[in-house]
Amino acid sequence: MHRPESCSGSFDSRVWKYPGMVDRRKALKVVVGFAGAAAAGVVVFPAAAVVASSANAPRLPGRRAGGDDGWHPVARWDDLVVATPLQAHIIGAEVDAWNVSPDRRLGTVWLLRGGEGTETLRALSAVCPHLGCLIEHSARGFVCPCHVSDFDAAGTALRGPSPRSMDPIESRVRDGEVEVRWAQFRLGGADRIREES
């Protein structure tokens, strides 16, 4: 085959024989480069994904004050006077998907100590079943000042828009401490339906 005389010693016979070879070699370098970058991406992307997912993951809620069984001390039994309701607040940790806030007021109850025969203890939620205002003590028993719902001394609804009587709350006396298990109930209905906390 004739070789042009102008070609010097740098002439590459492979180029002469196979004109497309240089382009293919360049292309091969590009492919290898992409493969390397892709391999690096396999390391980088999952690492970024782990950081992102841990940032979005909800934290586990902490233990509620008063124990996981939900009992909260609210008063001394000796503080209760027969037939005189005592208002008490449930103080504990407020837990959401991200935070645990200690010493928050979780709710309010009225404690009733009965004195005829065997002494008894009752606790009633101070949350009005109508729209959730705080129920107060009154001469006849209890009253919700928001829309004037009246309840008798046992918490039974007498008049007003409250669709049901005051909601009972579990209570007990342990070592002289009055404890309650706070619960919230759906507002606005005649049926007493416990809300999940």
Q: Whose Cβ is closer to ligand FES: residue 161's or residue 168's?
A: 161
Least distance CB 108 / ligand FES (angstroms): 14
Q: What are phi and psi of 177, to 5 degrees?
A: -100, 135
Least distance CB 62 / ligand FES (angstroms): 32
Check if the beta carbon of residue 196 is closer than 8 Å to that of residue 183: no
Q: Could you list the residues that contact ligand FES (CB under 6 A)?
A: 128, 130-131, 133, 144, 146-147, 149, 160-162
Least distance CB 130 / ligand FES (angstroms): 3
Check if the beta carbon of residue 172 is closer than 8 Å to that of residue 71: yes
Q: Whose Cβ is closer to ligand FES: residue 55's or residue 139's?
A: 139
Q: Whose Cβ is closer to ligand FES: residue 149's or residue 171's?
A: 149
Question: Residue 83 is encoded by which pair of tokens?
Answer: 């037939």
Q: Quick one: CA torsion of 17, 23, 26, 32, rounded to 10 degrees?
A: -100
DSSP conformation letters of 55-69? HHSPPPP-PPTT-TT
Strand 168-174 and strand 177-181: pairing?
antiparallel
Least distance CB 171 / ligand FES (angstroms): 22
Least distance CB 193 / ligand FES (angstroms): 17
Burial class (CB in 10 A: 0-12, 13-18, 19+), 160: middle
Q: Whose Cβ is closer to ligand FES: residue 91's or residue 131's?
A: 131
Q: Whose Cβ is closer to ligand FES: residue 67's or residue 188's?
A: 188
